[in-house]
Structure 1
């Protein structure tokens, strides 16, 4: 049995990451979960979060991952995300401004607008958390 997994992270603009890893931790609507080698096949809807993974050389990496879909099949993990960013690429000022704008929009009776504002606040918070 293999002790590693092939991880591919893709955004609409590019392939963000591709490589062999030992483990991955991310979050779906059902909560935080981890994936190790020989994981059962699955598909999950992703939430904006700080995704962490350990490469086969032991180096731990973290990235902001936005909404998307994760699939595990035959020793491979594919993450299709609206956005992925390394901590060093996150613009803190921009994330803080987006959070403030979204928080102002939270005071609404329109359910669709409220959901969008909540999503924007969560994305901003997770970007800032990824940055550290």
Structure 2
């Protein structure tokens, strides 16, 4: 049984992270789940969330991951997401303003994309939780 997992996180702009880890915890459309070594192969759509993984030294790292896809195969995990940020890179003022704008859009539902506004609020909340 393998002990390590190779994690790769890709965004449209760059390879955000690549390295060996012990475990990963994130959230798909069906809820939160943890990936350990020798996990069964799978593909899952991802929700905006705080993704937490443990490096080989046992240090827990957390990042904000936006919508995307997770693929698990042979002790490899790939996350392809539209955005990924370390807590120190999150602009909390910008995040709060984005949340306020989305909440305002929900108050005036004429001609707006409700799902888009709801996703914007969820992204803002998850960025703030990542920063905590």
Superposition TM-score tier, normalisation by shorter sequence: over 0.9
SS in structure 2 of the partner of residue 106 of structure 1: helix
| Matched pairs, number | 131
Unaligned runs of 5+ in 2: none
Q: Distance in 1 between matches of 2:110 and 2:6?
A: 44
Q: Distance in 1 between matches of 2:122 and 2:70?
A: 19
Match of 1:86 in 2: 86
Match of 2:19 in 1: 19
TM-score by length of 1: 0.97
Q: Distance in 2 between matches of 1:37 and 1:118?
A: 34
Q: Deviations over 1:87-129 (max 9, x none)?
A: 000000000000000000113155x611000000000000011
Q: For residues 10-89 of structure 1, what are the structure 2 equivalents within 5 Å?
A: 10-89=10-89
Q: Distance in 1 between matches of 2:12 and 2:55?
A: 24
TM-score by length of 2: 0.97
Tell me how far 1:2 sits from its aligned partner. 1.2
Unaligned runs of 5+ in 1: none
Q: For residues 110-125 of structure 1, what are the structure 2 equivalents within 5 Å?
A: 110=111, 113-125=113-125
Root-mean-square deviation (Å) = 0.9
